[in-house]
Every structure is written in structure tokens, then in C-alpha cells.
Amino acid sequence: MADSARSPGPAIDLDRSAHEHAAALRAGEYSARALAEATLARVEAQERDLNAYIRVTPDEALAQADAADERLREGDLAPLTGIPVGVKDVLSTRGVETTAGSRILEGFTPIIDCTVVARLREQGAVFVGKTNLDEFAMGSSTEHSGYGATRNPWDLTRVPGGSSGGSAATVAARGVPIALGTDTGGSIRQPAALTGIVGLKPTYGRVSRYGVVAFASSLEQVGPFARDARDAATLLQAIAGHDPNDATTAPEPVPDYSERFDRGLEGLRVGVPGEGLVAGLEDGVREAFEQAVTLFEREGAVVDRSVTLPSLEVALSAYYIIAPAEASANLARYDGVKYGYRFRGGEGMWDEMERTRGNGFGDEVKRRIMIGAYALSAGYYDAYYRKAQQVRTLVRAEFGTALADNDLLLTPTTPTVAFPLGEKLDDPLAMYLNDLLTIPVNVSGNPAVSIPGGFSEGLPVGIQLIARPFEESTLLGAAHACEALTDWNRQRPPLAGIGVPS
Amino acid sequence: MDLSSDEVRHIARLARIALTDEEAERLRGELSSILGHCQALSAIDTSGVAPTAQSFSLVNVERPDEARPSEPVSEVLANSPAREGDYIRVRAVLEQGPDG
């Protein structure tokens, strides 16, 4: 029998989506091995420019590709069999170093797969590597990684967004067709917007967090990055659903996430909150957003501009108390005792622990832990933490009201396009404000997706769609309809050509 | 909103994070500015509003109390910074002194 791995084989078009690759693999057009080799060549060639990965795993990927080819021969197929996937390095992978972007976890090798990775492994997906992120997923630019900043494939002098910037950059640059990220305060949607791809935050409780390095447990969800709605639906389908290992996963049945793909936009009730348009939007973003709203109207959607979310801005303040408070508790585990980095030679146990944490954590992580410790400390708990939780109740109620009469809410995903590296690094508050429109949705728990919404000054603009809890199908159906009407998701960044196998 | 240096030192101690003097001074400014922004919360009327701990509707999720195999000890210990046999080696907790 011919060994397909050694034959030259046809050149593989890496602009293809995961579903196009899946069809080609089934048709025998090329093997999973050939696809993995082409993908690795592309990814490795782009790394010097992008730094999208903390670790590329060619040996694992090629072994998984061979196993996928075996399954293809036997007809034992799943939607992601043989498909290359990027995995954010906050997701535990058995036997492969998982750092969460932090030096404090350097060398840490999980002995389990997180549930979402286990589910992709069962499907026979091919893991190309662990993607870069802001340390412990805290940040909006991927500059806070302990392993160097990731750059935006549209303009290498700009950030790709964050915290899931590595996953977003490698999908946008046509390295891998799909990748996993996590979204605690916009960390999937904001980088998807800044790199011109699709990124979806599921409803809180829809996807298991078992084995995900914890940052803010009441806010975060794992979700898909893709270049079209169909691939996002396929990846969400693979990871969604109840998990006995995560008591916060929802028992609600998982629908077919492509069930609304034929629905179009006709008659869809769409709310456009006025607040989303006043909050320091760049002109180019405002124009692109208005174009998107016009597109929905032209296609027969019923647009309601009287929707108000008065607590949108204060939701950011609530988030910057709640998320750090949860982080200060979750990150207490990094004490240098059981795993990870340990400072040696301190004056006793406490000194050693404090210097382990002082040396091991980066600036942004220290800031957040300290804000959280302050907000939870005696005398301040009621004024900050309890108050923030009460405001959270108001934010949830407002989203509930706004979505009672509307199927979707539409906002820009971010107030600006991708900003230059370093621009906000010394101004934490300015960095936080970039997530003004994404963070409220983590506070409320609703699902939301960022889709490509045109360009401003040559850089992608993202449109955010927000739906009622567990109505990810509505988001993906509308996203799919927009793709049929525009070519925004088919624009490719200049870097995409690098590493094309000859 | 202006934190004092002593407050920053107090918070760092609560968080068990060693800071250099330079770091502590920088954090004093940054934390003051972030917490100042969060003062917007105090303007919101939340009288009679119940706090939300998480957006999820389920409470008190239980599972059967069944014995399950644990992870192999050797694998669990493989990530520890210092070990001795099947134990993790740590600094003495109750007294200041050499490793005990």
C-alpha cells in the first residue's frame, strides 16, 4: 500500500475552512498527514512574525494525523477527524506543557486533558500547538504573556487583541482553520474582532470548564474561533454539553448549531442599544457598524433603536471588582509547593511563598490579584464586592428586558480597531476600556459572537451579536446569513501567504 | 481615590506577593486609578437588589458519593518542585529554619 505521507501529494489550500478540509479528507483528495504537514510548515514559517504559539507540537500533531488517516480508512469519522486545531495554553493538555502564559507554570505538564480537549481528541482532531495568551487570560492585547507578545497578521506593529490573541492570530493568518479560546471578559470576541474572524462566547454553563486554568470562575467560558459560522458551529457542537466533572455545566439539551443556517435575517428582531454608539467609538468603527445595521434592515430584520442598557458602562466597573476578586482566590493556589515555579532560599516558608509569587507573576496578574484582595478585605467587602454583585443583578435584568422583545442585540465588538503594540501597556485603565462592549455579556452570562463587519483604515472591524441564554443557534444563523451577503470574512491578511508549501 | 503606601503593603501581604519598593509605588498609582474608576458603582442605587454570585440558575448540584480511582501518585508528584519519596518537600511551617 502506498504511503501517502511520503508521496509529494497535491498542494493544499490552507485558506480552506475546516468543513472544506473535512470534505477533501473524506474524498481522499489529500491525507490528514499531508494536511498536518502543510499546516505545520505554514505555522512554523509564520511564527517568527506572529509568535502565536507558546509551543508548537509537531510530533503529537503528526501522530494524531496518522491516527486520523487510520480512522478515515476505516470510515470511523467525526466532523473534526484530521482537522488541525490550535489550543489556547490555558487549556490543560495531558502530557503537553500548559503554562497559561505565566512563568509561574513554566514546565507544568498536566496529567489530564481538560474536557473540551478530551472531546476534540475523541473526534480525532489534530492539535498543532498551544497558543499564546495574556498571562492567566488577563489582558486585551496578548502583550501580558510571559512568553512574548503576539502580533496581528493584518499589521505586525499592532496587537491581535487578547487574551486569546494567539488563537485569533493563527486562525486569521490561515495557519489553522479553527482554534479554542476562553472568554472571561471579551477574550474571544475582542481578538476575533481585531483579526477579522468569527469568535463565539457560549452561554455561561454551556461548555465545561473542567481542566481549564481558572481565572474568574463565574464569568469564563471556552469557545470557538473560526473563519466562518459553519466551522464555529462545528467546533461549538464538539465541546458543548453537560460534564459530570463540572457541576456548573447546564443540563439543557445541545441543539444542532447549524439549525438556523437557512433562516436568513428576514423578520429577525434586532435591538441596537444607543449606549453602544456613544462610548468613545472610532469614526471608522461607527461607520462599519452602521453599514452592518443597514444590512440587517435591508434583509428584512426589524431593527429597534429604542433599546437601552443603562448599566452598560457600570458593568465594566462591576467586572473589575468581581473578576479580580475571583482571581485572587483562584490564583492563591500558586504557592510554589505542589507544582510550577518555586523560589528557593528564602527566609522561611512565608518569605519563600511571597517571593515565589512576586517573581512568578507578571505585572497585570499582580495588579488584579491585589485589586481582588482589596475588594474582598475587611471593611471594603460591602462597598466593592457586594455592590458589584448587586450591579451584576441589574445588568442581567437589563439584558433580559432588552432580549424579551428582540432576538438579537447588535453592537460593535470593540470601540477601536487593533491598536499599536505598547500603546496601552502602561495605562491599565485604557486597556480595560477596550472591552467596554464585550465585558457586560460576561457579567450577564448571555451568549455572544463577534463576526467580521468590514474594515476601517485597512484593519478589521467586528460586529457583536448577543442572544438569549442557550440561543447560540440564533447567533450562528445570523452570522451565516451575513457571510452570504458580504465578503468580509473572506478577506485575508497580508501575512496569510507566508509559509505556503511550494 | 488614593491608596497609601501602607495600604498597598497591606494588600500585598494579604495576597502573599513580595514587591520591590519601586513596584509598590507604581502599583499605588495604578490601583488607585482602577479603584477610582470602580467608584462609579457607588452612584448606582442597589437598595433591595439581591447580589448575583453567578449567572447560572442551578443551585446545590450533587453527585453520587461513590469511590473513584484517583490519579497515580507518581504522575501527580511528577510536577512538584521538590519531592522526597512519595511526599512533596516543603519549608518548615511552624518554625523558621532550614528545610525540615
Q: In the 3-class helix/strand/coil scheme, how is A192-219 assigned residue by residue?
A: HHHHCCEEEECCCCCECCCCECCCCCCC
Of A338, A359, A377, nearest to B88 by CB-CB distance is A338
DSSP character for A9?
A: -
- The region that residue B84 occupies, defined by phi over 0 for left and psi between -120 and 50 for alpha, beta otherwise, is beta
Of A248, A348, A443, nearest to B91 by CB-CB distance is A348
Q: How many CB atoms lie within 10 A of CB A429?
A: 13
- The region that residue A123 occupies, defined by phi over 0 for left and psi between -120 and 50 for alpha, beta otherwise, is alpha
pTM of the model: 0.96
Q: What span, in angstroms and rounded, lies between the C-alpha atoms of A257 and A267?
A: 20
SS3 content of chain B, % helix, strand, coil (to 5): 40, 5, 60
| pLDDT score at B60 | 86
Examine the predicted complex and report whether its ipTM is higher than 0.90: yes
| pLDDT score at A93 | 98
Residues of chain B positioned with their CB less than 8 A from the CB of A342? 81-82
Instruction: Assess whether pLDDT exceeds 60 at residue A191.
Output: yes
| pLDDT score at A235 | 98
Residues of chain B positioned with their CB less than 8 A from the CB of A248? 54, 56, 58, 61
| pLDDT score at A272 | 96
- Which residue reads 478530551 in cell numbers? A118
| pLDDT score at A3 | 42
User: How far does A385 lie from chain B, in Å, by closest CA?
Assistant: 9
User: Which residues, 6 or more positions from A476, have their beta carbon under 8 angstroms from its beta carbon?
Assistant: A200, A229, A232, A233, A236, A257, A258, A260, A261, A449
Of the listed A102, A140, A163, A473, which one is catalytic? A163
Grid cell in block for residue B17: 506577593
Which of A85-99, A417-431, B82-96 has maximum average pLDDT? A85-99
| pLDDT score at A385 | 95
Q: What is the DSSP string of A364-415?
A: HHHHHHHHHHHHTSTTTTIIIIIHHHHHHHHHHHHHHHHTTS-SEEEEES-S
User: How far does B65 lie from chain A, in Å, by closest CA?
Assistant: 13
Grid cell in block for residue A211: 481542566
Lowest-confidence region among A315-329, A340-354, A470-484, B52-66:
B52-66
| pLDDT score at B93 | 84
- Cβ pair B82:A388 closer than 8 A: no
Any catalytic annotation for residue A88? yes
The residue among A23 and B97 whose pLDDT is bigger is A23
Lowest-confidence region among A21-25, A84-88, A304-308:
A304-308
Q: Which of A173, A159, A30, A206 is nearest to A422 (CA)?
A: A159
Across A247-274, average pLDDT = 96
Instruction: Assess whether pLDDT exceeds 80 at residue A359.
Output: yes
Of the listed A164, A167, A187, A444, which one is catalytic? A187
The three-point CA angle A440-A446-A452 to 5° equals 80
Any catalytic annotation for residue A163? yes
Instruction: Assess whether pLDDT exceeds 70 at residue A500.
Output: no
Residue A445 contacts B where some CB pair is shorter than 8 Å: yes
Instruction: Assess whether pLDDT exceeds 50 at residue A7.
Output: no
Instruction: Assess whether pLDDT exceeds 60 at residue A5.
Output: no
The three-point CA angle A212-A218-A220 to 5° equals 45
Q: Which residues are bridge partners to A463 per DSSP? A: A412, A451
User: How far does A403 lie from chain B, in Å, by closest CA?
Assistant: 16
Instruction: Assess whether pLDDT exceeds 50 at residue A131.
Output: yes
Q: What span, in angstroms and rounded, lies between the C-alpha atoms of A269 and A292?
A: 15
- Cβ pair A108:B54 closer than 8 A: no
* Percent of residues, chain A, with pLDDT higher than 90: 91
Look at the alpha carbons of A58, A62, A63, A67 in this order and tell me if their dihedral is positive or negative.
positive
Tell me which H or E stretch contains A448. strand A448-456
- Cβ pair B56:A351 closer than 8 A: no
Q: What span, in angstroms and rounded, lies between the C-alpha atoms of A451 and A462?
A: 6
Of the listed A88, A130, A201, A424, which one is catalytic? A88
Residues of chain B positioned with their CB less than 8 A from the CB of A218? 53-56
- Cβ pair B42:A383 closer than 8 A: yes
Lowest-confidence region among A101-110, A142-151, A259-268, A421-430:
A421-430
User: How far does B82 lie from chain A, in Å, by closest CA?
Assistant: 8
pLDDT bracket for residue A276 (50, 70, 90): low
pLDDT bracket for residue A279 (50, 70, 90): low
- Cβ pair B56:A444 closer than 8 A: no
Look at the alpha carbons of B44, B47, B48, B51 in this order and tell me if their dihedral is positive or negative.
positive
pLDDT bracket for residue A252 (50, 70, 90): very high
Instruction: Assess whether pLDDT exceeds 50 at residue A2.
Output: no
- Cβ pair A314:B8 closer than 8 A: no
Using DSSP's 3-state secondary structure scheme, residue A459 falls into strand
Taking only residues 224 to 263 of chain A, the set having a beta carbon closer than 8 angstroms to any beta carbon of chain B reads 244, 247-248, 250-251
Q: Which of A174, A170, A231 is nearest to A200 (CA)?
A: A231
Q: Which residue, among B4, B13, B16, would best test binding to A if mutated, counting the most A CBs under 10 Å from its CB?
A: B16
| pLDDT score at B100 | 43
Instruction: Assess whether pLDDT exceeds 90 at residue A200.
Output: yes
Residue A210 contacts B where some CB pair is shorter than 8 Å: no
The residue among B55 and A276 whose pLDDT is bigger is B55
Burial (CB < 10 A; 0-12, 13-18, 19+), residue B59, is: exposed
Per-chain mean pLDDT for chain A: 94
- Cβ pair B44:A320 closer than 8 A: no
Amino acid making up residue B90: V
Lowest-confidence region among A18-32, A390-404, B82-96:
B82-96
Across A378-393, average pLDDT = 94
Q: Which residue, among A113, A204, A206, A374, would best test binding to B if mutated, counting the most B CBs under 10 Å from its CB?
A: A374
Instruction: Assess whether pLDDT exceeds 50 at residue A431.
Output: yes
Across A302-328, average pLDDT = 95
User: How far does B93 lie from chain A, in Å, by closest CA?
Assistant: 6
- Cβ pair A387:B27 closer than 8 A: no
Of B8, B41, B63, nearest to A318 by CB-CB distance is B41
pLDDT bracket for residue A426 (50, 70, 90): confident
| pLDDT score at B92 | 87
Any catalytic annotation for residue A473? no
